[in-house]
A and B are shown apart, each in its own frame.
Chain A
Amino acid sequence: MLNDDACLKCSLCIAACPIVRVDSAFSGPKALGPEWWRSAVAADFQQTDASVDDCTFCQLCEEACPAQVPVAHLIAQHKDRHRRYRSKIGRLRDFALSHPHWIGRLPVGPDKVPRLFATAFRLSRKADYPKKNRIFRSLHQSVPNREIGLFVDCFNRDYGGETVKAAVWILNQLGYQVQLVPRDAHCCGAAAYASGRLQDAKDIAASTYDALNRTPVSTLLTLNATCDGTIRDEWPRYLGLDSPTTVVMPWTDWIVSHAPQEFWAQVSEKGRQVLVHTTCRGKVAQGEGAMEQLAALTSAIPVPLGIACCGAAGSYAFKAEHEDAAAALGKSAKSALEELCLTPEPESMLVDSGTCALHLHQYTEVSALHPALWLYQRLNKG
């Protein structure tokens, strides 16, 4: 791309990187991205840096860049080239984790994977794994001319059934008919991209793109910040796919801007403090503030957790070699919470990603959930 070679060496990307701060062996985004790319292309340098696999692909480095260098995507290319140095087991595991929508079809959830098996497949023994919680198919309600698409991502399809149900129920309350898309299990390609499997990412995204085109909708709402950014921003820019619909936006942003006063009048959380964590990919894709706005509309007091990345990063925390970095970031979430000195301790934390919610719950012991589910629970008390 045009800006691949535009690095000014200003180091702003390093300043934004969450891994540099917790992993002393990680070379950092400038060295692994633009600097590696320059040597790899200019000198056809075949050598790779093993620490490239410790990048979470949060993309905060890329967002930081003043010269619009695709720092994270250069790092993904570096990961891709480093692939042949990985062990056979590691490659097999990465292949599997790059297809989360296949893992979801297994009869048992990843939380049921015996720990012995985890060690053999280089999976983390420290991470919490998601429980099976499939979506219900009988949610369709017909309201003519007010149809909206809800993107059912690989995580929510198999482990976030309640979240999907809540999101649909609220849209129905607002008078919209919800079309769950795509019809079958698909993935936006983010998991493969983050693992440095670029061809897999392209294939997986293309198949999802085709699936979305089979059930066209004009507005597509997302429940996960990573899928949101991937579909809207990365598909056209890096994966050669045009936008599947005119509008792709997070469910939360849509509700905040579309739900009328009367809707918010039904729920009052007056004076209650609610933690908010906008995931790293959410910060990159849209920024911070929508979940806070949603909480404020219920009269709750939103309290941003104030960390960059929780350490979950999709399947990152599930890999054995990332146990320490993921735990260090998880613990920094815990200490950020302690520094807030909140009394009484908040009951919930709003998070725009299922894997991050799982990870944050593991380290902070606060119930972490998508704003849709939180709002649904508030609207259906007792």
Chain B
Amino acid sequence: MSREWVVVGKGPSGLLSASLLLDAGYNVTVVSHGQGSFPLWSGTLDFYSVDHKLRPVTHPEDHRDVLSRYLSYDQWLSGWDTWRQILAGIGVETQVDVMAANLLSPTATGVLYPRYVVPNWQYACRIPEPVTVVSWHGIADLDLESWTARYQLSSGLEAQARYRPAPGNWSPRWTALHWAGFFDTEVGMDWLMHDLEQALVGTDAQNPLLLPQVIGIRHTEQLLNRLSLALGRKVKEIPLVAPALGGIRIQERWQKFLVRQGVRLLTGEAIRISNDGVWLTDGRVLAGRTVLATGGVLGGGLRVNWDHTVTNTATGETILWSGDPEDLPLLSIARDSSNYDVVGRSSGRWNGDLHGGAGQVLGSVLKWWHSVQQEVSLAK
């Protein structure tokens, strides 16, 4: 089999496929036209979070019947292990439940939600506990009043909240990236430390301290450690909406890692894809076996077009959907085209938004990867 592989797309499925190929000794080129969906994610990996009636799932294993449509449960477990190792390799340490249950981690609106793998910077627990939350005026994505109300409702426990004034250089245009960039500077970190010391007066030191997910871009773990040591309590982040720092951090570290390992990370728009390679609009031809990982910004293999239609990125077909969750468009998760391999898309009744986006990514990537390995062993 060809030693050259071309991965189209640099979202979670693209980079995961590239890492698997790289580890197996293939030469990998990643080509993309667009950012990929990482900055739309907080960085948690959801396996199977809610069931078909939208009830929270504690043990994904209880849903073996659904999960085994894609992979055996053992394949799932070893797949998650592989993904966590890949993340650790790029410098993102994660937390999981030792019994392979879902952890609980609060959303941007304060609801404790089941999450399977959670990066270390984000708060997650096995059993709900009282928390202290500090945020600042100007972080519009985190409304502390409703956040604490919802947290109390979903956990039955108290959330102490402290709403603080924004720093002097704040402007209404600030996004999460502006905040994070500010905290990455010495001036910003000093301001943060000083502000938190004041904010925490009268709060319970036993509680973990939760901050909005804006604590730096490049050095988050070090910053959180510094805060934790200085303030004498656990300090973690709460995810916010896009642009989400968690996903941005993971993508930057992952891309940097791949480029350092010799992966070409190209920019270009594919006009023709076959199993021998990819043709780009600017005339470049990338030779190699191809895997299409263009889930699109919606995820699941869909692209939103400028004329408001939605297209299946693998087949080019226009997707029509009734809006009924029971009637999701059917996209098969791998090999739905005879010309090239396809990963990172929804399949059947798996709704990535509800059941788990990362589960969808992992399921489709592993299914493809197992078939590639099978081919290799057959060829031998």
Contacts A6-B306, A25-B171, A304-B259 known; A289 to B181 CB distance under 8 Å?
Answer: no
Q: Are B283 and A286 interface neighbours, CB within 8 A?
A: no
Q: Are B39 and A20 interface neighbours, CB within 8 A?
A: no
Residues of A within 8 A of B181 (CB): 20-22, 24
Expressed in whole angstroms, the Cα–Cα distance for A283 and B31 within the complex equals 11
Q: What's the minimum C-beta distance from B300 to chain A, rounded to whole angstroms?
A: 13
**Chain B, Cβ-Cβ closest to A30:** B175
Q: What's the minimum C-beta distance from A374 to chain B, rounded to whole angstroms?
A: 19
Expressed in whole angstroms, the Cα–Cα distance for A17 and B182 within the complex equals 14
Expressed in whole angstroms, the Cα–Cα distance for A6 and B169 within the complex equals 32
Q: Are A10 and B297 interface neighbours, CB within 8 A?
A: yes
Partner of B267, one of A13, A20, A287, A293: A287
Q: How large is the interface on A (under 10, 10 to 19, 20 to 34, 35 or more residues)?
A: 35 or more
Contacts A10-B297, A20-B178, A233-B282 known; A289 to B265 CB distance under 8 Å?
Answer: yes
Q: Are B306 and A68 interface neighbours, CB within 8 A?
A: yes
Let me know if B329 is at the binding interface, CB within 8 A: no
Instruction: Please encode chain B, from 161 to 183, with 1 for each CB lying within 8 Å of some chain A CB and 0 for all others.
Output: 00000000111011101101110
Partner of A284, one of B217, B264, B267, B303: B267
Q: Are B180 and A21 interface neighbours, CB within 8 A?
A: yes
Let me know if A28 is at the binding interface, CB within 8 A: yes
Q: Are A12 and B242 interface neighbours, CB within 8 A?
A: yes
Let me know if A271 is at the binding interface, CB within 8 A: no
Q: Are A15 and B243 interface neighbours, CB within 8 A?
A: yes
Q: What's the minimum C-beta distance from B23 to chain A, rounded to whole angstroms?
A: 19
Residues of A within 8 A of B267 (CB): 63, 283-287
Partner of B178, one of A2, A13, A28, A232: A28
Let me know if B331 is at the binding interface, CB within 8 A: no
Q: How large is the interface on B (under 10, 10 to 19, 20 to 34, 35 or more residues)?
A: 35 or more
Partner of A15, one of B35, B169, B174: B35
Residues of A within 8 A of B160 (CB): none
Contacts A15-B35, A63-B34 known; A288 to B264 CB distance under 8 Å?
Answer: yes
Q: Are A25 and B265 interface neighbours, CB within 8 A?
A: no
Within 8 A of B (CB), among A3-32: 3, 5-6, 8, 10-17, 20-22, 24-28, 31
Q: What's the minimum C-beta distance from A335 to chain B, rounded to whole angstroms?
A: 8
Contacts A24-B170, A24-B171, A66-B297 known; A289 to B35 CB distance under 8 Å?
Answer: no
Instruction: Please encode chain A, from 299 to 311, with 1 for each CB lying within 8 Å of some chain B CB and 0 for all others.
Output: 0000110100000
Q: What's the minimum C-beta distance from B32 to chain A, rounded to whole angstroms?
A: 8
Q: Are B169 and A25 interface neighbours, CB within 8 A?
A: yes
Expressed in whole angstroms, the Cα–Cα distance for A72 and B260 within the complex equals 28
Q: What's the minimum C-beta distance from A255 to chain B, rounded to whole angstroms?
A: 15
Let me know if B93 is at the binding interface, CB within 8 A: no
Given A15-B243, A285-B267, A289-B29, output 7 extra A-B contacts at Cβ < 8 Å. A11-B175, A14-B175, A20-B178, A287-B31, A290-B264, A292-B259, A306-B256
What are 23 A-B pairs with beta-carbon distances under 8 A? A2-B306, A3-B306, A6-B306, A15-B242, A15-B248, A20-B177, A20-B178, A21-B181, A21-B217, A22-B181, A24-B169, A24-B170, A25-B169, A26-B173, A28-B175, A66-B297, A67-B297, A67-B304, A68-B34, A68-B306, A232-B282, A288-B259, A306-B256
What residues make up the interface of A, taking CB atoms closer than 8 Å to B? 2-3, 5-6, 8, 10-17, 20-22, 24-28, 31, 51, 63-68, 232-233, 247, 283-290, 292-293, 296, 303-304, 306
